[in-house]
């Protein structure tokens, strides 16, 4: 259902020149959509040069899909133009809100997980997908507060949005870990609530431990506990495009490529197990079909 892209990195300015000069072992690149919405200039030149060699996916931070403000149609038009130009295999944003009263923030705030909020988000996703002419992925947020009004768990809410809006899920494993630690949730129960066929991409990233809470910072390597959770994710969700985000304290490109190699190593046996399970399911279905045909004859 979703493209199996392999293993990618976020394309960041400190690495532009080296990426184009060396062609590192990266299967695809993710770019922040808003950074490339202005025509011309070096970022667009680099984007096209990278797009000539690799798949490039678009990841937005300003859609504010959960806001009660009207959707910014000018923003959506510029995003649609970028999508038409780049033809990305995946377009994504966050299940959050970041604007109120016409004012935008650089934070990704969580929603109350209620039926009212669910209907609101589903309608807005439908509008965005119609405007873009494609399905999008929504990423689970990292969160530090919850709402007493919530009627569903975060994972249940995300799964229901995906089902009703017919969109996909960008499963951020680091965000699952951060939110579960902050709120005392069970990450395995979180995974179990997410439908396998809706997950089109996985994010990995680092976080910072502030003692009272974890903060999603994207400024450190992926933590060992997140790698363990990623192993579990690959067993459940299978061959899903996976990438590492690094947005601050950005190291040398080679260091990130090496870290991406760890994702490959972890995923390899887990994905074999997942594919083997799929093969067994296919064989069982074929056997059941053959038995049904014999009985019918």
What pLDDT sits at residue 105? 64
What pLDDT sits at residue 294? 46
Q: Tell me the per-residue pLDDT of 172-215, one tens digit each, with 9 for 90 and over.
A: 999 999 999 999 999 999 999 999 999 999 999 999 999 999 88
Beta bridge partners of 216: 207
Q: How many helices (H) and strands (E) does the chain have?
A: 9, 12
- What average pLDDT is seen over the chain? 90
Range with lowest mean pLDDT among 28-42, 103-117, 251-265, 271-285: 271-285
On whether the CB atoms of residues 173 and 230 are closer than 8 A, the answer is yes
Asked whether the predicted pLDDT for residue 242 surpasses 90, the reply is yes
Q: Tell me the per-residue pLDDT of 12-38, one tens digit each, with 9 for 90 and over.
A: 999 999 999 998 999 999 999 999 998
pLDDT bracket for residue 272 (50, 70, 90): confident
- Taking the model in full, what pTM does it have? 0.89
What pLDDT sits at residue 285? 53
CATH superfamily of 7-296: Divalent-metal-dependent TIM barrel enzymes (3.20.20.150)
Please tell me the distance from the alpha carbon of residue 154 to that of residue 185, in angstroms, as a whole number: 10
Please tell me the distance from the alpha carbon of residue 36 to that of residue 128, in angstroms, as a whole number: 19
Nearest to 9 by CA among 35, 34, 32, 42: 32
């Amino acid at each position: 259902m979703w493209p199996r892209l392999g293993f990618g990195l976020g394309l960041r300015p400190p690495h532009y020149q080296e990426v184009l000069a060396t062609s590192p072992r990266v299967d695809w690149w993710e770019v922040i959509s808003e950074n490339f919405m202005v025509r011309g200039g070096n970022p667009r030149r680099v984007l096209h040069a990278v797009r000539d060699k690799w798949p490039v996916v678009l990841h937005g931070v300003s859609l504010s899909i959960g806001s009660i403000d009207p959707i910014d149609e000018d923003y959506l038009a510029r995003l649609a133009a970028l999508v038409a130009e780049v033809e990305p295999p995946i377009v994504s944003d966050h299940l959050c809100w970041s604007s109120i009263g016409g004012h935008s923030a650089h934070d990704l705030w969580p929603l109350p997980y209620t039926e009212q909020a669910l209907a609101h988000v589903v309608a807005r996703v439908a509008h965005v997908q119609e405007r873009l002419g494609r399905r999008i992925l929504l990423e689970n947020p990292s969160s530090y507060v919850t709402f007493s009004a919530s009627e569903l768990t975060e994972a249940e809410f995300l799964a229901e949005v995906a089902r009703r809006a017919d969109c996909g899920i960008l499963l951020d494993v680091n965000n699952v870990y951060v939110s579960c630690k902050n709120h005392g949730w069970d990450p395995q129960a979180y995974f179990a609530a997410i439908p396998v066929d809706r997950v089109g991409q996985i994010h990995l990233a680092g976080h910072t431990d502030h003692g009272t809470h974890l903060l999603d910072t994207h400024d450190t390597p992926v933590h060992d506990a997140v790698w363990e959770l990623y192993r579990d994710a690959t067993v459940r969700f299978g061959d899903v495009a996976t990438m590492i985000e690094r947005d601050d304290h950005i190291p040398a490109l080679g260091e990130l490529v090496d870290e991406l190699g760890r994702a490959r190593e972890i995923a390899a046996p887990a994905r074999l197990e997942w594919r083997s399970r799929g093969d067994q399911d296919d064989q069982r279905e074929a056997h059941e079909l053959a038995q049904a045909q014999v009985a019918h004859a």
